[in-house]
């Protein structure tokens, strides 16, 4: 392969591109040209006959390499340095770290367990239990709220409501409860993250073939027996995948432990303090790796499980109607519990809303607009504009990239497309803080090779565009995976014969993609866009180390206000942020006019 | 071997194809090799062009930062923005951006932080003409930092919570060790907060050594609910009744009480308390040195030092001509320890690391 490339370089053909694409792969030994490689070469040559394919492939490969793999490799490299080895030795040896790791695991497992439970309960009530339609819709909509709010907003409201002087715990019951630490974290993280479990499990439940249940009932099984021996086993992979996904989210979360952790230290907070308190990138990298390995392994394990789970759902089209559970003994506790959870969410977000309009909720309940004045007129306005603007740039990029990679992965016939898929998914499988560190390590100085600047300095205030580029890149890598999955799912439903027909009628690939494929995957594309915008606006951990004086990010300002104890300002920020996200979702839906992914999601509720 | 191929093929082969096609491929990511915008006005010594903008690293309360930058902008026409970071964070940030600083001037936060920064060669000495007004004890003789305000550490208690716990208002550092206060004390983390570091160094001074100080901190840890990132945050926790006592600068406690947290009251330890001299300093390789010097000159004036009280920041001014708010602490009525900013600054790194390793993770 090198042999082939060498004469090309001598001919002066864009060596920078060649080197940039290859360099991080140096880890692998030089490969001798073998038969296998010749085949790969032929496959790609065939592919490249279509320039559109080639451009798509190059763009996708560059994206994965530069924006995702390079920062991760830089982090691993720093952790593998001799200084890193010393810190790693510390981490492995000292009981202090064992405790932190244990804390992280216990918290992850608890949140994953409770969150999956809550998600399942809501999904089950939604799909399988007889309840008034308006109630189900209410439960469904409240379950979606956490998606559009920054993840630690719940923690702040929880302190006000259930803290030691909480409006409810102390105000109503006179109890000085202690929510700092593990118990509080479990509650707020469950509420912040359960939506993922809820959405995927309700999808699975809907896809289950009711014929199985009917068969079980006909054979004389009771509803409970049938649930236990028929429904549940079929859902196990789905439950498992939700569990793992929530585990990964929980151990990666930074905002909640910072606000509500008390002295319950977890890896994410320790890592954060190493960077903001000491700017100790080496310790940061080592802790990153400790956090990274289980997260990534578990993430891909859950992916496998989820894929298995979806196989189950595709096997049979529903042949009958689902028999909703009507037995009062089951309905009342199930619907009651689900309603209670929904009301709890309403209470939390209601508190945020009220808190934004008073001086200091619970201490001084005088009505004021001061908080909004601070957010909308002062420096908050800058943050609002910066964040929305960068999110607005990242959104279409992530949307298009997601679709392009999905197209390559599903329709492409070349060796290694799953690597492209995997590489893109790393963007979400890797905890956000680690990308923060990775970007600092990789892009704080210009990346040069042989005196040629490949990538200019991207992070820090003195960087290109005041560091905004790095933040947009992080937004894109965090949001592309969702678009990719939506795109893959959509494309797999479309028979390639439709596209082939278009080509044989004389259209080229570009036209076919635009006129045939794109309209078919449009809902997936727009749900990807909506997700990307919401995700970008609410991202915290990945951008905390990347903000500069030129780029103010709302979530970071909220965290600052929260940390400094100015809850009123924090609440006002959260309210404004949620409003922006909702307005943009509304506008997107309007623009598209017809059915967007999000609407479909909402309409699906029975 | 095969799996390796699968992994790297999509990244390597397309590049080769591009080469094979020998298209004059404009590599998308490498494209805009933006020349680092060669700092235009800053680097030119000729004819002192009027500076246009200034970025301040600001450590005190957010609203004070806002009021100061706004006033400076109105008076000079220089577009002034700030980022608020706690002392330790500021230090870390300056260290991180050493070669290419984002800020030109650092205003506020205990002088120990400035000493620590100077020890790492992050600051540029500047003796402002206005520094002549500032008492000698409140500035560095070489102009590394100049004092802009003074504040004393105190206990900020919530009297309702104290009454409920049946505990008297604390008047001694040892009062904080009362087992009845378990989980009822809040203080910031000295790695990120200058306030908390002042508290730690106060123990060193008071007890006569670092080891003795850590002995005390270990006992105090039994009662601490949370080590917050920002120094004044514990005062808010006390104000909301989440804890009974916060160890913060007394002026922050007065501020919160004035802002509606009426249950708060200040007290001082009779053994003596630590104090801060808030500093201002020019950052090394500052992108806007001229504007930064103007800022330093300005914040030392009596007029600039009277802005604090308008946003309920009652630190004492260092300029003797500035009016002192009656809400400010009267230093003559508080016993102060003999605080050595130089020693404190030089030991900062070692102490914060030891704190992280020995205290925060100790069982409670």
In a domain, B344, yes or no: no
Residue in A62, A417, A549 closest to B83 by CB? A549
For chain A, give the mean pLDDT: 82
What would the DSSP string read from start to end of A527-559? HHHHHHHHHHHH--TTTTTT-BTTB--HHHHHH
Note whether B232 and B142 are same-domain residues: no
Q: Name the residue with higher pLDDT: A523 or B29.
A: A523
Mean pLDDT over residues A527-553, rounded? 88
Say yes or no for a CB contact (<8 Å) between B8 and A279.
no
Predicted confidence (pLDDT) at residue A110 exceeds the cutoff of 70 = yes
Q: Does B100 contact chain A (CB < 8 Å)? A: yes
- With vertex at residue A545, the alpha carbon angle to CA A544 and CA A548, rounded to the nearest 5 degrees, is 95
Q: What is the pLDDT of residue A165?
A: 83
Residue in A25, A54, A440 closest to B11 by CB? A25
Mean pLDDT over residues A65-71, rounded? 93
d(CA B123, CA B143): 10
Q: Which residues of B touch A37 (CB under 8 A)?
A: 5
B329, B250 Cβ separation under 8 angstroms: yes
User: A residues 355-374 near B, CB within 8 Å?
Assistant: 359-360, 362-364, 366
Mean pLDDT over residues A557-578, rounded? 89
Give Cβ neighbours of residue A110 (< 8 Å, ≥ 6 apart): A182, A186
Percent of chain A's residues with pLDDT above 70: 89
Q: Does B89 contact chain A (CB < 8 Å)? A: yes
pLDDT tens-place string over residues B252-306: 999 999 988 999 999 999 999 999 999 999 999 999 999 999 999 999 999 999 9
Backbone angles phi, psi at B241, to 5 degrees: 80, 15
Which residues pair with residue A372 across a beta bridge? none
A148: closest CA of chain B, how far (Å): 26
Please give the structure tokens belonging to residue A358.
């008073």
Looking at the structure of chain B, the number of domains it has is 2
Predicted confidence (pLDDT) at residue A186 exceeds the cutoff of 60 = yes
Residue in B32, B101, B228 closest to A563 by CB? B228
pLDDT tens-place string over residues A92-104: 888 888 889 999 9
pLDDT tens-place string over residues A368-390: 888 898 888 877 888 899 999 99
A449: closest CA of chain B, how far (Å): 11
In a domain, B262, yes or no: yes
If DSSP codes are grouped into helix, strand and coil, which group holds residue A327?
A: coil
pLDDT tens-place string over residues B98-110: 888 889 999 999 9
Closest A-chain CA to B224:
A263
Mean pLDDT over residues B221-247, rounded? 92
Q: What is the pLDDT of residue B4?
A: 58
Q: What is the pLDDT of residue B69?
A: 94
Say yes or no for a CB contact (<8 Å) between B16 and A20.
no
Q: What is the pLDDT of residue B8?
A: 67
In a domain, B78, yes or no: yes
Mean pLDDT over residues B63-77, rounded? 93
Predicted confidence (pLDDT) at residue A14 exceeds the cutoff of 50 = no
Say yes or no for a CB contact (<8 Å) between A416 and B66.
no
Note whether B179 and B98 are same-domain residues: no
- Residue A453 C-alpha from the chain's centroid: 32
pLDDT tens-place string over residues A128-155: 899 999 999 999 999 999 988 887 888 9
Q: Which residues of B touch A64 (CB under 8 A)?
A: 11
Mean pLDDT over residues B14-21, rounded? 58
User: A residues 96-125 near B, CB within 8 Å?
Assistant: 96, 99-100
What would the DSSP string read from start to end of A347-371? HHHHHHHHHTTEEETTTEEEE-SHH
Say yes or no for a CB contact (<8 Å) between A273 and B224.
no
Q: What is the CATH number of the domain that holds B193?
A: 3.40.190.10
Mean pLDDT over residues A558-583, rounded? 90
Which residues pair with residue B228 across a beta bridge? B188
ipTM entry: 0.78
Predicted confidence (pLDDT) at residue A424 exceeds the cutoff of 50 = yes
Predicted confidence (pLDDT) at residue B219 exceeds the cutoff of 90 = yes
Please give the structure tokens belonging to residue A321.
């109607």
Mean pLDDT over residues B149-176, rounded? 95
pLDDT tens-place string over residues A239-251: 988 898 899 889 9
Residue in A4, A277, A567 closest to B352 by CB? A277
Say yes or no for a CB contact (<8 Å) between A462 and B287.
yes
**Domain hosting residue B68, numbered range:** 52-150+276-329
Q: Does B14 contact chain A (CB < 8 Å)? A: yes
* Strand bridging mode B105-110 / B53-58: parallel
Note whether B233 and B353 are same-domain residues: yes
SS3 content of chain A, % helix, strand, coil (to 5): 75, 5, 20
Q: Does A16 contact chain B (CB < 8 Å)? A: yes
Place B27 in a pLDDT band, splitting at 50, 70 and 90.
very low
- Residue A241 C-alpha from the chain's centroid: 15
Note whether B227 and B354 are same-domain residues: yes
- Please state which CATH number belongs to domain A81-355: 1.10.3720.10
SS3 content of chain B, % helix, strand, coil (to 5): 45, 20, 35
DSSP letter assigned to residue B51: P
pLDDT tens-place string over residues B312-361: 999 999 999 999 999 999 888 899 999 999 999 999 989 998 998 888 87
Note whether B143 and B286 are same-domain residues: yes
Note whether B202 and B188 are same-domain residues: yes
In a domain, B94, yes or no: yes
Closest B-chain CA to A58:
B14
Q: What is the pLDDT of residue A593?
A: 58
In a domain, B98, yes or no: yes
Note whether B123 and B226 are same-domain residues: no
Percent of chain A's residues with pLDDT above 90: 32
pLDDT tens-place string over residues A263-272: 888 999 888 8
Q: Does A595 contact chain B (CB < 8 Å)? A: no
Q: What is the pLDDT of residue A178?
A: 81
Q: What is the pLDDT of residue B52?
A: 86
In the block, residue with structure tokens 């569990």: A243
| Lowest mean per-residue pLDDT among A17-26, A459-468, B75-84, B198-207 | A17-26
Note whether B176 and B141 are same-domain residues: no
Q: Name the residue with higher pLDDT: A125 or B36.
A: A125
pLDDT tens-place string over residues A306-358: 776 554 444 444 456 677 888 888 899 999 999 999 999 999 999 999 999 99
Q: Does B19 contact chain A (CB < 8 Å)? A: yes
Q: Mutate which of A9, A15, A21 to test chain B, going by most B C-beta atoms within 10 A?
A: A21
DSSP letter assigned to residue A30: P
In a domain, B14, yes or no: no
Mean pLDDT over residues A203-215, rounded? 80
In a domain, B37, yes or no: no
Residues belonging to chain A? 606
d(CA B252, CA B231): 9
């Amino acid at each position: 392969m090198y042999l082939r490339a060498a004469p090309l370089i001598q001919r002066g053909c864009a060596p920078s591109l060649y080197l940039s694409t290859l360099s991080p792969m140096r880890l692998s030994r030089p490969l001798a040209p073998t038969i296998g490689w010749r085949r790969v070469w032929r496959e790609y040559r065939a592919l490249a006959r279509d320039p559109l394919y080639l451009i798509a492939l190059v763009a996708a490969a560059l994206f994965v390499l530069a924006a995702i793999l390079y920062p991760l490799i830089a982090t691993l490299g720093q952790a593998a340095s001799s200084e890193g080895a010393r810190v790693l030795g510390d981490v492995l040896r000292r009981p202090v770290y064992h405790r932190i790791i244990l804390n992280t695991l216990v918290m992850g497992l608890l949140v994953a367990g409770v969150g999956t439970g809550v998600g399942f309960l809501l999904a089950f009530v939604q799909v399988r239990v007889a309840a008034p339609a308006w109630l189900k819709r209410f439960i469904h909509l409240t379950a979606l709220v956490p998606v559009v709010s920054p993840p630690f907003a719940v923690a702040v409201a929880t302190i006000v409501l259930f803290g030691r002087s909480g409006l409810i715990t102390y105000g109503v019951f006179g109890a000085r409860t202690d929510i700092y630490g593990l118990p509080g974290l479990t509650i707020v993280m469950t509420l912040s993250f359960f939506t993922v479990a809820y959405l995927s499990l309700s999808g699975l439940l809907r896809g289950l073939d009711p014929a199985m249940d009917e068969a079980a009932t006909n054979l004389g099984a009771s509803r409970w027996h049938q649930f236990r021996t028929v429904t549940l086993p079929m859902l196990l992979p789905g439950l498992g995948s939700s569990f793992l996904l929530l585990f990964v989210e929980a151990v990666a979360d930074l905002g909640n432990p910072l606000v509500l952790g008390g002295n319950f230290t977890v890896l994410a907070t320790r890592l954060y303090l190493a960077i903001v308190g000491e700017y100790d990138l080496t310790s940061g990298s080592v802790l990153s790796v400790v956090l990274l390995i289980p997260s990534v392994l578990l993430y891909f394990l859950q992916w496998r499980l989820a894929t298995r789970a979806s196989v189950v759902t595709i096997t049979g089209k529903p042949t009958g109607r689902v028999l909703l559970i009507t037995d009062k003994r089951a309905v009342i506790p199930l619907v009651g519990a689900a309603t209670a959870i929904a009301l709890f969410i309403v209470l939390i977000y209601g508190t945020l809303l009220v808190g934004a309009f008073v001086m200091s909720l619970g201490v001084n309940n005088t009505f004021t607009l001061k908080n909004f004045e601070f957010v909308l007129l002062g420096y908050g306005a800058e943050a609002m504009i910066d964040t929305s603007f960068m999110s607005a740039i990242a959104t279409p990029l992530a949307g298009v990239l997601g679709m392009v990679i999905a197209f390559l992965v599903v329709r492409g016939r070349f060796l290694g497309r799953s690597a492209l898929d995997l590489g893109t998914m790393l963007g979400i499988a890797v905890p956000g803080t680690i990308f923060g560190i990775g970007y600092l390590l990789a892009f704080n100085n210009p990346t040069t090779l042989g005196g040629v600047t490949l990538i200019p300095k991207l992070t820090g205030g003195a960087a290109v565009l005041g560091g905004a580029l790095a933040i947009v890149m992080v937004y894109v890598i965090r949001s592309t995976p969702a678009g990719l999955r939506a795109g893959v799912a959509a494309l797999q439903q479309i028979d390639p014969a439709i596209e082939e027909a278009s080509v044989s009628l004389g259209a080229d690939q570009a036209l076919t993609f635009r006129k045939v494929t794109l309209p078919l995957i449009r809902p997936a594309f727009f749900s990807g866009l909506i997700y990307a915008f919401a995700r970008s606006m609410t991202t915290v951990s990945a951008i905390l180390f990347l903000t500069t004086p030129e780029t103010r990010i709302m979530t970071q300002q909220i965290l600052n206000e929260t940390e400094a104890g100015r809850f009123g300002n924090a609440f006002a920020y959260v309210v404004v942020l949620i409003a922006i996200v909702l307005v943009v979702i509304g506008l997107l839906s309007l623009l598209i006019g017809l059915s967007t992914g999000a609407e479909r999601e909402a309409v699906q509720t029975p | 071997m095969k799996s390796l191929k699968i992994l790297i093929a999509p990244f390597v082969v397309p590049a080769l194809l591009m080469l094979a096609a020998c298209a004059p491929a404009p590599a998308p990511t490498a494209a805009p090799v933006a020349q680092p915008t060669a700092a235009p006005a800053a680097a030119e010594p000729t004819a002192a062009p009027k500076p246009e903008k200034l970025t301040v690293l600001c450590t005190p309360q957010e609203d004070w930062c806002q009021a100061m930058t706004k006033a400076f902008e109105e008076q000079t026409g220089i577009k002034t923005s700030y980022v608020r970071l706690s002392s330790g964070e500021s230090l870390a940030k300056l260290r991180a951006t050493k070669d290419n600083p984002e800020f030109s001037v650092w205003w506020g936060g205990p002088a120990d932080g400035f000493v620590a920064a100077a020890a790492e060669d992050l600051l540029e000495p500047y003796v402002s003409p206005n520094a002549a007004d500032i008492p000698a004890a409140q500035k560095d003789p070489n102009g590394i930092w100049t004092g802009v305000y003074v504040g004393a550490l105190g206990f900020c208690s919530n009297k309702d919570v104290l009454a409920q716990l049946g505990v008297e208002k604390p008047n001694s550092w040892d009062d904080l060790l009362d087992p009845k206060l378990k989980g009822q004390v809040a203080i910031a983390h000295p790695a990120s907060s200058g306030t908390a570091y002042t508290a730690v160094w106060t123990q060193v001074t008071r007890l006569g050594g670092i080891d003795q100080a850590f002995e005390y901190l270990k006992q105090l840890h039994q009662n601490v609910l949370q080590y917050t990132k920002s120094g004044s945050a514990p005062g808010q926790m006390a104000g909301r009744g989440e804890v009974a006592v916060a160890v913060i600068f007394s002026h922050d406690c007065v501020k919160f009480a004035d802002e509606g947290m009426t249950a708060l009251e200040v007290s001082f330890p009779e053994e003596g308390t630590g104090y801060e001299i808030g500093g201002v300093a020019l950052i090394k390789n500052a992108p806007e040195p001229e504007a930064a010097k103007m800022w330093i000159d300005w914040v030392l004036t009596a007029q600039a030092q009277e802005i604090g009280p308008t946003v309920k920041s009652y630190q004492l001014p260092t300029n003797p001509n500035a009016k002192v708010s009656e809400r400010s602490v009267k230093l003559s009525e508080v016993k102060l320890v003999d605080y050595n900013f130089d020693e404190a600054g030089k030991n900062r790194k070692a102490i914060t690391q030891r704190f992280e390793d020995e205290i925060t993770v100790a069982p409670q």
